[in-house]
Structure 1
Amino acid sequence: MSSSSSFELNKIAGAVLGTLTLTVALGIFSEIIFEQPKPAKQGYELAEATPTNTSTAAAAPQDPPLAEVLAKASAERGAAIFKRCGACHTDDKGGKNGVGPNLYGVIGGPKGHKSDFAYSDAVKALHDKGETWTPDDFYHFIKSPQAFIKGTKMTFVGLPKPQDRADVLTYLNSQSDKPVDLPKS
């Protein structure tokens, strides 16, 4: 190899090494100039994902007392609202079970009241304990079935409006051979 070609290779290698050295030096120099303080806690806080301290969190709005909403309840409005439930439930005497059990006589009756329906283990356990569907229990159950009975197979998200629940409760109570006395204000 001639001395001029090795001299050319040395110039090329020197230029590459010089460029790399200058790049690293600029990176270090820019970190010094634009230094960011380290956060005390890594990551970002998301409002929805942040657990709240129950003692300082704003209290969730409470439902009005059952007797108060029942005073304005209407079985006719309840029948109209219950039509949404008709995809899974029937409410006529001797009616067939659907995806959910027939609800005739459910208010005041035992939890898991239909012997020919395959209830979840959670509901079966309540039935075995002798629990009944009180108006208050049913009112809170249809607000959020999954929250009221952990492990229920009922996937309905619930009726968030207290008046809608009181109307459905009033209607289903009328669908019975023995309607129960509903709380009065």
Structure 2
Amino acid sequence: MTTTDSNKILMVIGFTLILTLGLGIVSGIIFEQPKLAKPGYELPDAAPAGEAAAPAAQDPPLADLLKTASAEKGAAIFKKCTSCHTIDKGGKAGNGPNLYGVLGGPHAHMEGFAYSDAMKSLHDKTWTADDFYHFIKSPQAYIKGTKMSFPGLGKPQDRADVLLYLNSQSDHPVDLPKS
């Protein structure tokens, strides 16, 4: 390659760079964006000014849900839980404790399981049907600091079905709410 060829190549590269810079400047002038007073986007309020936001939907009473609850459906729904929990009498813990006979027992009921400090602090509190129903709706919201990473069961009837199933998996089932 001769010096003339090298110069031509360098000139093409230089011309391309100048052309790219020039086009960037020209397009910036043509498509100029106004400066924002405040960065970000304005989002509409959830409720118009002066009006209260709509209250969150309340779950139906547990006693009403239990009237139509099914332990068989609860067993099917509980399969989601078996990746971490066992339900056999005397069963071993997985990532979560064994849940046989959990209702009516203390919150941190399984000896030797590494519960979170939040759950250990509730060891003297008994799992009632109502407590467990609300816990499985959203474990992290119900007991702040729990290690349980499951997001919860959103459908009230699913929670009632699981509750009925868990209660059937016990030597001493608890009395469930009745209306």
Measured against the shorter chain, the TM-score band is: 0.7 to 0.9
Which residue matches 1:60?
56
CA RMSD after TM alignment: 2.7
- Cα distance in 2 between the residues matched to 1:104 and 1:45: 51
1:45 corresponds to 2:39: no
Deviation (angstroms), 1:51: 8.1
Which residue matches 1:143?
137
Contact residue 46 and residue 53 of structure 2 kept, 8 A: no
Residue from 115, 122, 131 that aligns with 2:111: 115
- Cα distance in 1 between the residues matched to 2:159 and 2:99: 15
- Cα distance in 2 between the residues matched to 1:125 and 1:51: 37
TM-score (norm 1): 0.73
1:1-185 to 2 correspondence within 5 Å? Answer: 43-47=40-44, 56-127=52-123, 130-185=124-179
Q: Which runs of 5+ in 2 are unaligned?
A: 1-28
Deviation (angstroms), 1:43: 4.0
Deviation (angstroms), 1:117: 0.5
- Cα distance in 2 between the residues matched to 1:44 and 1:152: 35
**AA paired with 1:115?**
E
**AA paired with 1:172?**
L
Which residue matches 2:13?
none
Deviation (angstroms), 1:45: 2.2
Q: Which runs of 5+ in 1 are unaligned?
A: 1-26, 28-35
- Cα distance in 2 between the residues matched to 1:43 and 1:102: 48
**AA paired with 1:67?**
A
- Cα distance in 1 between the residues matched to 2:72 and 2:40: 53
**AA paired with 1:117?**
F
Deviation (angstroms), 1:46: 2.9
- Cα distance in 1 between the residues matched to 2:46 and 2:95: 36
Deviation (angstroms), 1:42: 6.0
Deviation (angstroms), 1:147: 0.3
What is the aligned residue count?
Answer: 149
Which residue matches 2:9?
none
- Cα distance in 2 between the residues matched to 1:57 and 1:135: 31
Bigger radius of gyration, 1 or 2?
Answer: 1
Which residue matches 2:15?
none
- Identity, % of aligned positions: 71
Q: Are the structure 2 counterparts of residues 66 and 111 from structure 1 closer, same or farther at C-alpha, using a change threshold of 3 Å?
A: same
TM-score (norm 2): 0.75
